[in-house]
Amino acid sequence: MAFAALVSATMWIDYFRRIDVFEREKVWSLIIALIIGCFTPSICLFFYSLIHKMGFSENGKFVNDFIYAILAVGLNEEFSKIIGVIIVLTVFRKKIDEPIDILIYAGITAIGFAMVENFKYFSLYGIKVITPRTFYSSLEHIINTTLIVYGFYRTSLFKKGIPVLNVLVFSSLAVASHGLFDFFLMDTSLGYFTAFFSIMIYLIGINFWVQMLNNANNYSNFFDYDKIHYTDRIFLRLLFWYSLTLIITFINNLIVSDLKTTVTHFFFGLLSDGFLFWVVMLRASRFKIYKLKYFDIKIQFPFYITKNNDEDFKIPFLNLPIKVRGENYREHIPTKYVGKNIVICPVNDKKSYLNIPVNATITNKYLLFDDVVVYSVVFNNIGQGSNNLYLLKPKTRGLTEVDGLYPIEGLYKVNNEVVDLSKVDIKSLTRLEWVYLKV
């Protein structure tokens, strides 16, 4: 049981270390924060005992249980975790030197709370629940604690909003999210359909969380495009941890049951949660990395219908192209070349605007109006017209590399009369040709 709880916690610690790319926190600091977080459930239990002594508990009635979920569960548990966060941030105040550190320590403290809670659940139901406890419950604790802390620091870090209003809004969102998530899991008034509402809250919360982490990294004092390289690596790492929880569950079920039942449970878990967790892992690994760019925290699902031929998948029968938010691996690749000299080569040199390989410099990175990632490029020693801005848009479908090494990009030309690319739609631009990049 302890091993399963430790695996669940280690996964998210590993995740936080991998997104902290500019100035990584020491492991021992995170372990201390985790231990402090492990004591916060005792605070929560104390308040639970007071609440129950006052005669307030669940009784199966909709209104009563709804209020109980918000106040006794959401408010109580979030307040208890925040006490731990305050202690952690006080202990490590001299080590906190970029915005992401604050959110990481808050998240690690929440993991400590979740680890103790998970140990209790593993004791009651066995380690067969390790996957949902890791990806649902633990992540919910991280998300909601991060919301509260983000509200406290939103003004000082990002110069956004009014301090008191930030605290009230983000804290209320966290308490409501926590309480409603638990309430809809427990409520049976609408049958299995109530679980659907929990999933909606969960998905919106994940998008909130990644947006907050994204803003924190964009405002790092140590921001460096050259250090951002984790889009695909984080996804693969999360996939490893997900696979490990499935293996642990499979072995556990094989010990306590027969092979047929074990295999049935395995495939049922993949069908019921596998796709959802795949989306979660993709979203948690995708960021929009732009120096000092702040993205508003919006109520959105972590995916959307795209019209830019950059979808991650299509919904069967409906043929709807769906993209998970954030930069995918292909969109992210040129980030490491910002400010560096490269060679831009035509894919088809027989019908080419450039005609020959050209030395160039990727100067900046932009996000167009329709959420398309592009990179501005300046050609060296060639006169394509000084009144034009040239953009590179990563190719994300079909053949995306030349010789399996060199990323293919669409080369676009923009008239210099366009002063704000954030208001430009990719469909309003004309692609000159396909090119590929060499360092």
The pLDDT tens digits of the residues spanning 224-244 come to 888 876 568 899 999 999 999
Which tokens is 299 given?
A: 């109520």
Beta pairing class for 320-324 and 303-305? antiparallel
- Contacts by residues 355-360 (CB-CB < 8 Å, ≥ 24 positions apart): 357/438, 358/382
Which tokens is 373 given?
A: 């990632």
Which tokens is 226 given?
A: 């050259």
| Averaged pLDDT of the chain | 89
- Give the chain's length: 439
**Percent of the chain at pLDDT above 90?**
54
Higher-pLDDT residue of 185 and 287 is 287
Q: How far apart are CA 358 and CA 345, in angstroms?
A: 6
Q: Which residue has the tokens 């160039």?
A: 360
Query: Could you give the dihedral angle defined by the CA atoms of residues 215, 180, 13 and 159, in that order, rounded to the nearest 10 degrees?
Result: 20
pTM beyond 0.85: yes
Higher-pLDDT residue of 85 and 386 is 85
Structure confidence at residue 106 (pLDDT): 97
pLDDT over 60 at 384, yes or no = no
Segment 302-325 shows an average pLDDT of 89
Q: Are 125 and 131 in contact (CB under 8 A)?
A: no
pLDDT over 60 at 419, yes or no = yes
Sorted by sequence, the CB contacts under 8 Å of residue 47 that are 6+ apart come out as: 76, 79, 80
Band of residue 86 on the pLDDT scale cut at 50, 70, 90? very high
- Secondary structure of residue 283 in the 3-state scheme: helix
Structure confidence at residue 421 (pLDDT): 80
Structure confidence at residue 349 (pLDDT): 81
Structure confidence at residue 35 (pLDDT): 96
Structure confidence at residue 292 (pLDDT): 92
Band of residue 191 on the pLDDT scale cut at 50, 70, 90? low
| CA distances in angstroms from 20 to 99, 106, 108, 134, 362, listed in the order given | 10, 14, 13, 21, 25
Structure confidence at residue 124 (pLDDT): 67
Segment 3-17 shows an average pLDDT of 87
Minimal CA–CA distance to 64: which of 187, 197, 191, 193? 187
Band of residue 29 on the pLDDT scale cut at 50, 70, 90? very high
pLDDT over 80 at 439, yes or no = no
